[in-house]
Structure 1
Amino acid sequence: MNEKGLFLSLSLMVLLLAACSGNNAGGGDNPSMAAGQGAGGHDGAAGTLGGSGQPPAKEADAEAAGRKEGDGEQSGPVKLVFATVNPSAQLKASVKKYESLHPNVTIELTYTQTEFKDITSQEANIEKYITTTNAAMLAGKGPDLLELDLLPVDKYANRHLLADLNGLMEQDVSFKKSDYFANVLDNSEIGGGLYAMPLSYYLYGLIGDSGAIGKTGTQIDDKNWTWDEFSDVAKQLAQKGGNTTVLLSSPDYLLGEMVSENYPLYVDEANRKAKFASPAFTGLLQRIKTMFDEGIAEQVERSAGKGSIATYFQDMPVQSLSDYLYVMDAYEGHAKLYTKPHMPELGPGGYFQTNQTVGINASSPFKEEAWQFIAFLAAEEAVTVPADNTAVNYSISDISFGGFPISRIAYNKQIEQARKAGTVSTLPNGPADGVTVTADGPQLDQLDDYLTGAVHAVGKPSRIDEIVSEESEAYFKGQKSAEDVAKLIQNKVALYLNE
């Protein structure tokens, strides 16, 4: 493998750091905000959000803002409060542009952090955002719009604290779902409703050395393979090929990925029940441990210091077009993106994780106006990171302001520009600092298939992930049995779900 193997390993850590940083948005000093953690497939820190029920009525001063919801055309200016942890330069620029196009609308960004200082301060700001937003939402107050990447979307939806965006989409004659990656939108729903609009998303897959795999004669049907079939393929590759390591990852990371990717198998969100004390989960633990014990899988921590390791696959996210093209130059240019194996219960298909998710407070008197701004952000074609991200004092959220745009029109324009130029530059100040990479036509064609074939939502980091990681360590170190660990996880997750 060439030097880009190190980048592949580091990308795993960068994504986790980006997730903890709140991506591109954040929350505010304003006491009218609310909270949790996690989104997408599962929720985050719940606090007092367990259970279900209707939110308290909001006594909003809608008349002072121009009109009450349902009164028809507004009679005066509208002010939308948008809560984030740390708004990116791109979001600020989009607000200014939208306000210039809609003089009667003012968008106030409220947030807890103005610049990135260190991880400790970032964690404190995130916690502040979560706590204040949570309290406000439970009180029937809160902002009109809120960035949801760090908040418990499932629990908000169960308590009817967020507006269902599907209805607003249907009412908006200018919004055409065919202009967006509908596979992502449809599979981001909770109980039939879309409560968090993703402005972008990441792909999750395996980056493989297609050249080395081809030499072994091993046939791979990555569109349909399960983890059991992957284990069979891994053994064949280890026996036939020159590489002894098949997968570059780590036990806790791989377990966390599998739980997040197959969340419905382990958590019944609707009934607040955990399902970890099961043969399926203990079997998963045993499968992962066997892969590392036999050397088929290699620890990321051990490999990162080697500079190079002969491995067939690396488990990692693909966060943008430039990211994809960059990693495709790994393995001396023989890299290929493979769909991740799936659990038989969920069926085939690729994996994605939503990014930059935005929701509307169900108590907002300006839902239609709020939706119009979300639609503007989703359709925004200026999806590249703004020029001031090249400044020295960038924030960590600016690094992660990326992903594949939810707008197919914006994505198609990216592809057209890449094909015409023949090259793409990676993000300045990122892991691959402003590197120019070749935009290969066949690779771009393959990428489109993977983007449209992604149907399994990967949940974002949550307290459940922490519990699984903390308790599974004893099993991977040989200190406890899989059954004992599964029971501990079952009990702790059950307590969390019913807090």
Structure 2
Amino acid sequence: MKIKGLLVMLIMLMVTSACSGNNGGSLPVGGESGGTDKPQAQAGNKKTVVIAVQGSNPFLEAAAEQFEQEHDDIDIEIKSYMAMPEASGGGMSAAISQADIEKYVQTVTTQIMAGKGSDLILMENLPLSKLVEKKVLVNLYDWMEKDSSFARSDYYENVFKAAQDGDGLYALPIAVNIDVIQGRADLLEKAGIEIDEGTWTWEQFKAISKKAKEQIGQEYYAFINVFPLNLLISYMEDNYAELVQPNGKVNFDSDLFREMMRQIKSMYDENVLQAEFTYDYDKAIFSQMTLSSPEETMRLMSADKYQFFKGPTSKGESSGIPYRSWVNLGLNSKSKVQQEAWAFLKFLLSEQIQQSPALSGFPVNKKIAEKRLDDAAAKLASGQLEYAFDAVEPAAAKKKAEEVKKLLEHTGAKLSLDFKVQSIAIEEFNAYMSGQKSAEEVSKLIQNRVTTYLNE
């Protein structure tokens, strides 16, 4: 489970790096971390697949080791691009900083644009649409189609579809984390509030929260420990396809974006939210949640006082439950070992790897995701699920697991931002929130800076 904005350090990370935290990667395997190209041909017929990653991740490292044991003709080399060298020993890895993200984005983007770089590339924070437009990534649907041993129906195809750029799949999600709003059912019932999650907007969210405060007390807030920058990122993620359209059109100088900024500011001005940190978590009517595993989700669902909702949107409509990819890999179109790289991608989607305890999130393999949910429900019903809130009868536990399965089946809105675009928006948005510049001035500045960046 991840609760947005609970700790000051998390907020500071949002401010300085705007990093979502799901930067899959691994420890460097063989050779130094960094961005120099290495010859891929090895002695004899052995080939090397090089993977560019941002930081450390035991999942990829363990999967690479298992893959090499089963494929003695292929080596997997994982290159980490950190601004500062990673500490060795002790089993600890350094947190990813803004400098690390900037180095990764700049180095990897430059390499792949020049027709070089690694074979497989971790796509978090990279400008996916820009890379697709330049034809430097492979449409992975092509490999799925010509591989007779691969069946797309074994996976959540709605997740693949949401991850598309146009009609192609250029970044493959290995697992997903589901974003929801967790509501205090007891407080909403006390306030006499019912929510139509299929159509509610941020404006309705504000009105509902104000009504709830009037009924249950002004010391309650819609969210706690959610700051203006957190909301800006949420708004941008929900509307990114419209703000930066697939055809390259930039739409920040628009009523859509200006209204987003005004709505965010009004929630703090009208005391729906407070820009102060607190440990009094019981004063939150809602919480922004990321469901990060079947087991943790079932634990949360054991509490009667909590209820999950699809998050509000700007227009009251959405293409599905929003999700974040975990270990999201693209294939370099200039790679000389595409077949071997595809073999490793397919291995990451296999039942063997999708049930790994090191995998963070819900497996995209339907069979494994459903099995893990059923197992967690059985543990919940038998009292063996650690830290469960309340006792749950077997039939009720099974029903809760089925509800989560439906969430997965209706997951259809990928949340992601180009790191550079996000950084530009955050820099200029601060001037609006502080009253230094108007919404019109800020939206035009963001428009010009993002347009310049995308045209580079």
1:81-480 matches, within 5 Å, as 81-112=50-81, 114-115=86-87, 118-119=94-95, 123-242=98-217, 244-248=220-224, 249-271=226-248, 273-299=249-275, 302=276, 304-328=277-301, 333-344=304-315, 347=318, 349-383=320-354, 402-422=360-380, 440-460=397-417, 462-480=419-437
Letter in 1 for 2:243: Y
* Residue ranges of structure 1 left out of the alignment (5+ in a row): 34-59, 67-75, 387-397, 427-434
- The structure-2 alpha-carbon separation of the partners of 1:231 and 1:415, relative to structure 1 and needing over 3 Å to count, comes to same
- The structure-2 alpha-carbon separation of the partners of 1:247 and 1:307, relative to structure 1 and needing over 3 Å to count, comes to closer
- Contact residue 137 and residue 170 of structure 2 kept, 8 A: yes
Give the structure 2 partner of residue 54 of structure 1: none
Distance across 1 between alignment mates of 2:279 and 2:176: 31
Distance across 2 between alignment mates of 1:162 and 1:472: 32
Distance across 1 between alignment mates of 2:72 and 2:2: 50
Give the structure 2 partner of residue 395 of structure 1: none
* CA displacement 1:53-98 (0-9 Å, x = unmatched): xxxxxxx887x777xxxxxxxxx33332222233522222212222
Distance across 1 between alignment mates of 2:419 and 2:260: 20
Letter in 2 for 1:484: E
Distance across 2 between alignment mates of 1:209 and 1:328: 12
Give the structure 2 partner of residue 432 of structure 1: none
Distance across 1 between alignment mates of 2:37 and 2:289: 37
Distance across 1 between alignment mates of 2:115 and 2:107: 13
Distance across 2 between alignment mates of 1:350 and 1:11: 28
- The structure-2 alpha-carbon separation of the partners of 1:11 and 1:459, relative to structure 1 and needing over 3 Å to count, comes to farther
- Contact residue 224 and residue 348 of structure 1 kept, 8 A: no
- The structure-2 alpha-carbon separation of the partners of 1:150 and 1:477, relative to structure 1 and needing over 3 Å to count, comes to closer
- Displacement after TM superposition at 1:189 (Å): 0.5
* CA displacement 1:117-136 (0-9 Å, x = unmatched): 655x8555544444443333
- SS of 1:298's partner is coil
- The structure-2 alpha-carbon separation of the partners of 1:85 and 1:230, relative to structure 1 and needing over 3 Å to count, comes to closer
Distance across 2 between alignment mates of 1:11 and 1:177: 42
Letter in 1 for 2:454: L
Of the structure 1 ranges 304-313 and 21-30, higher mean CA displacement relative to structure 2 is found in 21-30
Distance across 1 between alignment mates of 2:139 and 2:174: 16
- The structure-2 alpha-carbon separation of the partners of 1:384 and 1:172, relative to structure 1 and needing over 3 Å to count, comes to closer
* CA displacement 1:190-241 (0-9 Å, x = unmatched): 1211111011111112111011112222221112322233233233323333
- The structure-2 alpha-carbon separation of the partners of 1:322 and 1:208, relative to structure 1 and needing over 3 Å to count, comes to same
- Contact residue 222 and residue 340 of structure 1 kept, 8 A: yes
Letter in 1 for 2:279: K
- Contact residue 384 and residue 402 of structure 1 kept, 8 A: no
* CA displacement 1:103-152 (0-9 Å, x = unmatched): 22222223345545655x85555444444433332332222222222432
- State the identity %: 27
Letter in 1 for 2:71: H
- The structure-2 alpha-carbon separation of the partners of 1:161 and 1:5, relative to structure 1 and needing over 3 Å to count, comes to closer
* CA displacement 1:401-421 (0-9 Å, x = unmatched): 612222112211211221232
- The structure-2 alpha-carbon separation of the partners of 1:461 and 1:24, relative to structure 1 and needing over 3 Å to count, comes to same
Of the structure 1 ranges 136-145 and 377-386, higher mean CA displacement relative to structure 2 is found in 377-386
- Displacement after TM superposition at 1:292 (Å): 1.5
Of the structure 1 ranges 10-19 and 173-182, higher mean CA displacement relative to structure 2 is found in 10-19
Distance across 2 between alignment mates of 1:463 and 1:7: 21
Distance across 2 between alignment mates of 1:162 and 1:455: 22
Q: How many residues align?
A: 432
- Contact residue 34 and residue 79 of structure 2 kept, 8 A: yes
Of the structure 1 ranges 152-161 and 142-151, higher mean CA displacement relative to structure 2 is found in 142-151
- Contact residue 19 and residue 460 of structure 1 kept, 8 A: no
Distance across 1 between alignment mates of 2:420 and 2:221: 32
- The structure-2 alpha-carbon separation of the partners of 1:468 and 1:356, relative to structure 1 and needing over 3 Å to count, comes to same
- Displacement after TM superposition at 1:458 (Å): 1.0
- Displacement after TM superposition at 1:267 (Å): 1.7
- Displacement after TM superposition at 1:265 (Å): 2.1
Cα RMSD, aligned residues only: 3.2
Give the structure 2 partner of residue 498 of structure 1: 455
Distance across 1 between alignment mates of 2:409 and 2:121: 27
Distance across 1 between alignment mates of 2:22 and 2:320: 29
Letter in 2 for 1:353: R
Distance across 2 between alignment mates of 1:175 and 1:6: 36
- Contact residue 105 and residue 125 of structure 2 kept, 8 A: yes
Letter in 2 for 1:448: K
- Contact residue 252 and residue 469 of structure 1 kept, 8 A: yes
Q: TM-score, normalised by structure 2?
A: 0.83
- Displacement after TM superposition at 1:262 (Å): 0.8
Residue number among 13, 24, 31 corresponding to 2:10 in the alignment:
13
Distance across 2 between alignment mates of 1:464 and 1:131: 13
Residue number among 49, 70, 73 corresponding to 1:80 in the alignment:
49
- SS of 1:9's partner is coil
Distance across 2 between alignment mates of 1:417 and 1:308: 30
- Displacement after TM superposition at 1:158 (Å): 1.1
Letter in 2 for 1:316: M
- Displacement after TM superposition at 1:348 (Å): 5.1
Letter in 1 for 2:186: G
- The structure-2 alpha-carbon separation of the partners of 1:194 and 1:228, relative to structure 1 and needing over 3 Å to count, comes to same
